[in-house]
């Protein structure tokens, strides 16, 4: 199978600004927008113009370079103080995805050793470029390991979007699907629509169909019946934060799919780079779940459903307990339970 990719990259650094695909407009319009201020970076991440843990990590990393360009001083102490403030503002924009805070801290830590504003900027840009390239390479490796692991599975189901639009490379969960296609393996995909913002129906379906991979969109509520029917061979999803015991936070609705997969007797995989593992989070109960605007749930075809006076609970993510996860596909291979041990080994490899 040939992978057809001819649209612009999800995120690109021009030398002074960040260019991103505005994902809020897809699939109706493919538009590249420019980010040239810290506030612009924060707004783009907050309103999901750019989304996906690795992609917002890269965006935040380059946002730190923009922050340096817009500092009001050449005095090093004040410059570092303004950088720290920018890192906190950018890093806290979306609290669940660990890649964002990891990336801005990494750029800050690398840059502060500079002896001048010019050197600080240079060091920040070098680190941001490394973060971008490392994620791209990790996606390629996840695709290869995932293709090996799922070689006998043809029909896969996924949730939300963990592909090119969510990373700097071919994706994590969708990287596995692209990896199968590139390896010449037959693959077709069922994409859960992923309410309330329809990242599956709008984004996953768009990028897979553009790549020439057969994809069928399903209502989230039909996934259990689909898996029980025996049509789906395996489920593969991405993650925004993984605790050291293997509990994995991903888009709301993922946990229900994991339960359904266990009931149907089919494997449930998470695909994620090591940057998504949080060594400071011991289990899923410690993962902060982002709450989003209730109007995301109310707005259906421009009609307020439910009515304005009704309360809405709108968590962006849920946590799938490690016991429901067959394996986690990383750039270092597939790890399995006991996750406490395998994740400790994984993070040791990543730090070498």
340 neighbors 245 (Cβ within 8 angstroms): yes
Tell me the CA distances in angstroms from 256 to 148, 194, 201, 228, 237, one per residue in order: 26, 12, 18, 13, 12
Residue 240 appears among annotated catalytic residues: yes
**Which are the contacts of 263, defined by CB distance < 8 A and separation ≥ 6?**
224, 227, 228
Tokens of 247: 């509990």
What would the DSSP string read from start to end of 168-203?
SSS-SHHHHHHHHHHTT---EEEEE--TTTTHIIII
Tokens of 195: 């309410």
Tell me the three-class secondary structure of 217-264, residue by residue: EECHHHHHHHHHCCCCCEEEECCCEECCCCCEEEECCHHHHHHHHHHH
DSSP 331: T
299 CB-contact burial (10 Å; exposed 0-12 / middle 13-18 / buried 19+): middle
Q: Which of 135, 240, 247, 278 is catalytic?
A: 240
Q: Which residues are catalytic?
A: 240
């Amino acid at each position: 199978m040939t992978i057809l990719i001819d649209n612009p990259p999800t995120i690109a650094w021009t030398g002074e600004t960040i260019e991103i695909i505005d994902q809020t407009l897809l699939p109706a319009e493919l538009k590249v927008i420019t980010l040239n201020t810290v506030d612009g970076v924060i707004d783009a991440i907050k309103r999901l113009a750019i989304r996906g843990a690795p992609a917002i990590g890269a965006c935040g990393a380059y946002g730190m370079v923009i922050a340096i360009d817009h500092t009001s001083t050449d005095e090093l102490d004040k410059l570092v103080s303004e950088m720290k403030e920018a890192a906190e503002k950018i890093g806290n924009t979306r609290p669940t995805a660990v890649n964002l805070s990891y990336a801005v801290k990494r750029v800050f830590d690398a840059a502060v050793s500079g002896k001048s504003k010019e050197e600080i900027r240079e060091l920040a840009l070098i680190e941001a470029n490394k973060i971008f390239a490392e994620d791209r390479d990790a996606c390629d490796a996840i695709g290869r390991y995932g293709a090996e692991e799922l070689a006998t599975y043809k029909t896969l189901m996924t949730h939300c979007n963990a592909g090119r639009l969510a990373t700097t490379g071919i994706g994590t969960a969708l990287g596995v699907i692209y990896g199968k296609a590139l390896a010449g393996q037959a693959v077709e995909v069922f994409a859960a629509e992923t309410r309330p913002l329809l990242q599956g129906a709008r984004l996953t379906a768009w990028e897979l169909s553009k790549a020439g991979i057969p994809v069928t969109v399903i209502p989230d509520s039909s996934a259990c019946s689909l898996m029980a029917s025996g049509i789906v061979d395996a489920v593969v999803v991405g993650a925004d934060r993984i605790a050291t015991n293997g509990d994995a936070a991903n888009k709301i609705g993922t946990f229900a799919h994991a339960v359904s997969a266990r009931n149907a007797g089919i494997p449930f995989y998470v695909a994620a780079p090591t940057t998504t593992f949080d060594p400071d989070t011991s289990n899923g109960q410690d993962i902060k779940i982002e709450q989003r605007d209730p109007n995301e749930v109310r707005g259906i075809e421009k009609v307020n459903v439910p009515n304005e006076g009704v309360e809405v609970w709108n968590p962006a993510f849920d946590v799938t307990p490690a016991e429901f996860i067959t394996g986690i596909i990383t750039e270092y291979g597939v790890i399995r339970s006991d996750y406490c041990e395998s994740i400790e080994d994984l993070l040791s490899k990543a730090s070498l």
